[in-house]
């Protein structure tokens, strides 16, 4: 059984391979697509952790598409432009009070499931 701890050095999923996994392979069956990206933080039951050698030699069925995420881009994290876009969106939402808050009245719930609430549209 593979470890789910991110620093444990998970092994390659290929049978007989003892190399440390560097990438994670997932399949989107409905789109006939295989996605190969950086090693996932935790082992997922429907994903395959692959070493560098098996990642490079990976093949897919005829007619399938392979999406390879640039590993250097993923390791560097979001760009400054990405972070500024997120900050601007948060500021915009925070600066615009919702109609319920602006009218200063209590909104009545019409349903609830766990931590989610259904509110009537105004």
Q: What is the pLDDT of residues 22-43, one digit of tens each?
A: 999 999 888 899 999 998 888 8
Say if residue 47's pLDDT is above 70: yes
Residues 65-87: what's their mean pLDDT?
73
Quote the tokens at residue 71.
């590993």
Residue 94 three-state SS: helix
Say if residue 54's pLDDT is above 70: yes
Domain membership flag for residue 15: no
Structurally, how many domains does the chain consist of?
A: 2
Domain membership flag for residue 9: no
- Whole domain around residue 44: which residue ranges? 23-75
Do residues 89 and 68 share a domain? Answer: no
Q: Which residues contact 92 (CB under 8 A, 6 or more apart)?
A: none
């Amino acid at each position: 059984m593979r470890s789910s701890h991110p620093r444990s050095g998970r092994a390659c999923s290929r049978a007989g391979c003892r190399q440390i996994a560097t990438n994670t392979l997932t399949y989107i069956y409905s789109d006939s697509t295989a996605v190969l990206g950086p090693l996932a933080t935790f082992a997922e039951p429907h994903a395959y952790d692959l070493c560098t050698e098996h990642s490079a030699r990976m093949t897919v069925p005829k007619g399938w598409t392979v999406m390879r995420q640039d590993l250097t881009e993923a390791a560097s994290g979001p760009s400054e432009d990405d972070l500024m876009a997120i900050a601007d969106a948060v500021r915009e939402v925070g600066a615009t009070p919702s109609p319920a808050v602006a009218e200063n009245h209590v909104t009545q719930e019409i349903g609830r499931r766990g931590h989610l609430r259904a509110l009537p549209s105004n």
